[in-house]
Amino acid sequence: MEQVLGSDSVPSGPMDKSKVLTVKPLRCLVPIFPSQRDTTAPQTSQFASVPPTGPFPPGAAPFFPFFASNESQRQGTGANQGRSYPIPSPVPLNSFRTPASAAGNGDIGTSRRSSRNRVAADEDGYSQGDAYENSFGMYTEDGSDVVKKRKSRKKAKGRPAIAVSLSEVDIESLVNNLLKSFNLVEIDTFYQANSDKELVERVLIVYNLLRRKITQIDDSKEAVPGVARRPDLRSGTILMNKGARANVKKRIGTVPGIDVGDIFFFRMEMCLVGLHAPIMGGIDYLTVKVSADEEPVAVSIVSSGGYEDDGDDGDVLIYSGHGGVQRKDKQQMDQKLERGNLALEKSLHRANEVRVIRGVRDFASPTGKIYVYDGRYIIHESWIEKGKSGCNVFKYKLVRVAGQPEAYTVWKSIQQWKDGVTTRVGVILPDLTSGAESLPVCLVNDVDDEKGPAYFTYLPHLKYTKPFASSKSFLNCSCSDGCEPATNCPCVQKNGGYIPYTALGILLSHNSLIHECGPACLCPRTCRNRVSQAGLKIRLEVFKTKDKGWGLRSWDPIRAGAFICEYAGDVIDSSAVESDDNYIFDATRSFDQLEFVPIDDPVKVPFPLIISAKNGGNVGRFMNHSCSPNVYWQPILRENHDQSYLHVGFYAIKHIPPMQELTYSYGMVRTDKDGPRRKKCLCGSSKCRGYFY
DNA sequence: GGATGTTCACTGTG
DNA sequence: CCACAGTGAACATC
């Protein structure tokens, strides 16, 4: 009914609202002026409120010198300095980021080939395990003093307190190692304000590594009541204080390094990369100078679901303003035209773009949410409605700017495919595994008329004719309820005292050999330490790519670290490799250090495993190569008395949105002398080597 | 009165 | 359920 009000409020401006509201705005409403610019034009810094060189928000820049000295001081005393692993010393500080301004033409990434020279270093082996693991294994005492300390630290913002608790020292050195590995130690101020894809990705990956690691540590302690269990916030604060963040400068419109469709699993992630700054609030805005006056302008909103409604059109969003809820007693009251609400109002009149992030329920983790960046919207109208309690609520109608890649609508389509409401176009087979997997795997071709890949037998698991023999005999566990962290279960011990996975089956740390429970272990199939044995958890599809044959992608969003599938097939001897076999997985190849996996010693594969999936295999055989992959593999060992079964597990490097192709690096043949096996690479990445194995 | 430092309120989340 | 943190804006001090 109020729609009537809404429709005529467009031309008549804000007067309606001030009439309805007795509240006077915090800042006066200056006269409306037309959007002074075509909104499709790039909006780089028209409203820049922060000069590129500062002054900087407190908490970021001023602390760099401090941390730098802290860093060098720590060099000799850190918890793992005594270890023999080569410290990734001053890091390949590839002098890296000359201010992005200089690279105005966006020619990034061409100078990074040098990471290759690290390959030579790995050839003489190393002890297994990684620095992070080991540095933690030593201290698992309680952290009861941590709580108090964190409070008192708040005063001296960002200053690392004198080490009180051993585990805090550990976290400090873990963080420093991570930051060094990913070249996030002292980010150029301008680059920090105006970032790019590289920085965004590195920040996100470090955030997730840190968060998972802290989760793992928390997990291994017995629950201390009162200790905050929010690794998401804790790791976020740490990175904030260290300045390891991107796009600090707020901006209207597109954020460098963030693509429409990108997904996030925590509010903190969006905060760290400058997509949406408020850690809780739904509306982000900045203040712009208008002659002598200032006014707020909205930059992004998070719609956490609930009230969007408006039927099936995924390009329209009805958004409610904030406020109107008494915090203490949860009393409802009228919303006021201030802060975010005022900013949205201003954006409406200026016809500014507003980024929209849609929160959707995460079915893999019912308590969690996934945030989908759905691109830029324009506010078309606003009005006031009476809420349930009879109080005034602001409503804004946003319409998606045309010409952007699909994002949220993809999610809607997938949901409909799953529900059987609509059918996927181009389906050749609804389940190419014929029921061999716990979930169906669709075979789809919507690009040409090829009817499917060459014949093969679907094998859900790796087939061994003979396991690797071991000289020693392994203990099996007897955890009848499944293995738990912080127990003396032999399988947990083999993993350095931890279970390598979270309760959700997310891999907790990179670069370690994963010891899963073996056939003789008495724990159930559902044990947390049998993630790769539990079958598919992600709804995958095999699809025809434009130019790379068949490929693999997912209907479900995938979290960084999630297990995707193993590489199934027949374990063969190196002498049995046929030259026309395009489905070889060869763990003895050399694998370039992945850019987004910590620069640590890579895991040594304990046995020379070669798998052929030519005649038989699983979905893993369809995953294509890429020089900048979103998936990587790790060896998994399952032991059984004196036998070892080595498996290859695929895990997500980063969060992967639905329908994005899954790729990993096939590696290089070590003795390659420009041999005949080289294949032209079509990955299309800016870092493409041009060929693979 | 401009610059800088401090405190507080506001915002849902996991 | 409830502690949690970034930010803007008001307030305080230089």
Q: What is the pLDDT of residues A576-620, one digit of tens each?
A: 888 888 899 998 887 766 666 655 566 678 889 999 999 999 999
pLDDT band at A5 (very low <50, low <70, confident <90, very high): very low
Closest CA to A264 of A407, A412, A417: A407
How does DSSP assign A426-456, residue by residue?
A: TEEES-TTTT-SSS--EEE--SS----SPP-
pLDDT band at A294 (very low <50, low <70, confident <90, very high): confident
List the Cα angle A197/A200/A201 in 5-degree steps.
Answer: 85
Q: What mean pLDDT comes out for the span A399-403?
A: 96
Closest CA to A203 of A167, A248, A161, A160: A248
List CB contacts of A631: < 8 A, sequence separation 6 or more: A564, A623, A650, A651, A652, A653, A656, A662, A663, A664
Which residue spans of chain A are classified as CATH 2.170.270.10?
425-693
pLDDT surpassing 80 at residue A386: yes
* A468 phi/psi in degrees, rounded to 5: -70, 135
Q: Taking the alpha carbons of A73, A76, A80, A84 in that order, is the dihedral positive or negative?
A: positive
Task: Return the number of other C-beta atoms located less than 10 Å from residue A159's C-beta.
Answer: 13
Which parts of the protein come within 7 Å of strand B, by CB position?
A 55, 58, 230, 232, 266-267, 278-282, 302, 304, 322-323, 325, 327, 339-340, 359, 367-369
Q: Is A328 exposed, middle or buried (0-12, 13-18, 19+ CB in 10 A)?
A: exposed
Which residue has better confidence, A691 or A344? A344
Q: Which nucleotide is nearest to A147 (CA to C1')?
A: C3
The reported pLDDT for the residue numbered A596 is 63
- Our measurement of CA A326 to C1' B8, in angstroms, reads 16
pLDDT surpassing 80 at residue A260: yes
C-alpha–C-alpha distance, residues A428 and A445, integer Å: 7
C-alpha–C-alpha distance, residues A185 and A469, integer Å: 45
Q: Which nucleotide is nearest to A278 (CA to C1')?
A: C6
The reported pLDDT for the residue numbered A691 is 81
Q: Which residue is nearest to nucleotide C8 (CA to C1')?
A: A339
pLDDT band at A228 (very low <50, low <70, confident <90, very high): low
Task: Return the number of other C-beta atoms located less than 10 Å from residue A36's C-beta.
Answer: 8
pLDDT surpassing 90 at residue A138: no
Closest CA to A443 of A422, A419, A424: A424
Which of 2.40.400.10, 2.30.280.10, 2.60.40.10, 3.60.110.10 is the CATH number of A3-29+260-416?
A: 2.30.280.10
pLDDT surpassing 50 at residue A195: yes
DSSP A163: P
The reported pLDDT for the residue numbered A155 is 35
C-alpha–C-alpha distance, residues A273 and A256, integer Å: 9
Closest CA to A566 of A459, A465, A447: A459
The reported pLDDT for the residue numbered A668 is 77
pLDDT band at A162 (very low <50, low <70, confident <90, very high): very low
Q: Which positions of strand B lie within 7 Å of protein CB atoms?
A: 4-6, 10-14
pLDDT band at A41 (very low <50, low <70, confident <90, very high): very low
Q: Which of A167-181, A210-224, A547-561 has the lowest mean pLDDT?
A: A210-224
The answer to whether A170 and A139 have CB atoms below 8 angstroms apart is yes
- Our measurement of CA A22 to C1' B3, in angstroms, reads 36
C-alpha–C-alpha distance, residues A161 and A462, integer Å: 50
The reported pLDDT for the residue numbered A533 is 95
Q: What mean pLDDT comes out for the span A439-459?
A: 96
Please state whether beta strands A570-571 and A610-612 pair in parallel, antiparallel, or not at all (unpaired).
antiparallel
- Our measurement of CA A333 to C1' C13, in angstroms, reads 36
pLDDT band at A332 (very low <50, low <70, confident <90, very high): confident
pLDDT band at A675 (very low <50, low <70, confident <90, very high): low
The reported pLDDT for the residue numbered A84 is 29
Q: Percentage of chain A with pLDDT > 90?
A: 47
Q: Percentage of chain A with pLDDT > 70?
A: 70
Task: Find the Cα–Cα–Cα–Cα dihedral A462, A467, A471, A475, rounded to 10°.
Answer: 60
**Coil, strand, or helix at residue A524?**
coil
**Coil, strand, or helix at residue A422?**
coil
The answer to whether A319 and A376 have CB atoms below 8 angstroms apart is no
- Our measurement of CA A28 to C1' B4, in angstroms, reads 26
Q: What mean pLDDT comes out for the span A223-235?
A: 72
The answer to whether A577 and A610 have CB atoms below 8 angstroms apart is yes
DSSP A126: -
pLDDT surpassing 60 at residue A251: yes
C-alpha–C-alpha distance, residues A202 and A595, integer Å: 9
- Our measurement of CA A302 to C1' C8, in angstroms, reads 18
pLDDT surpassing 60 at residue A137: no
Task: Return the number of other C-beta atoms located less than 10 Å from residue A7's C-beta.
Answer: 11
Which residue spans of chain A are classified as CATH 2.30.280.10?
3-29+260-416
Q: Which nucleotide is nearest to A281 (CA to C1')?
A: B11
Q: Which nucleotide is nearest to A279 (CA to C1')?
A: C6
Q: Which residue is nearest to nucleotide B7 (CA to C1')?
A: A155
Report which residue type is found at A567. Y
* Homologous superfamily of domain range A425-693: SET domain (2.170.270.10)
The reported pLDDT for the residue numbered A658 is 98
Q: What mean pLDDT comes out for the span A320-326?
A: 87
The reported pLDDT for the residue numbered A157 is 36
- Our measurement of CA A55 to C1' B2, in angstroms, reads 15
Q: Which nucleotide is nearest to A155 (CA to C1')?
A: B6
C-alpha–C-alpha distance, residues A324 and A320, integer Å: 11
pLDDT band at A398 (very low <50, low <70, confident <90, very high): very high
- Our measurement of CA A221 to C1' C5, in angstroms, reads 24
Q: What is the pLDDT of residues A84-126, one digit of tens each?
A: 222 222 222 222 222 222 232 322 222 222 332 322 222 222 2
The reported pLDDT for the residue numbered A347 is 96
Closest CA to A359 of A269, A427, A273: A269
Across chain A, what does the average pLDDT equal?
Answer: 75
The reported pLDDT for the residue numbered A159 is 34
Q: What is the pLDDT of residues A499-515, one digit of tens each?
A: 889 888 898 877 678 99
- Our measurement of CA A178 to C1' B6, in angstroms, reads 33
Highest mean pLDDT among A254-258, A484-488, A598-602: A254-258
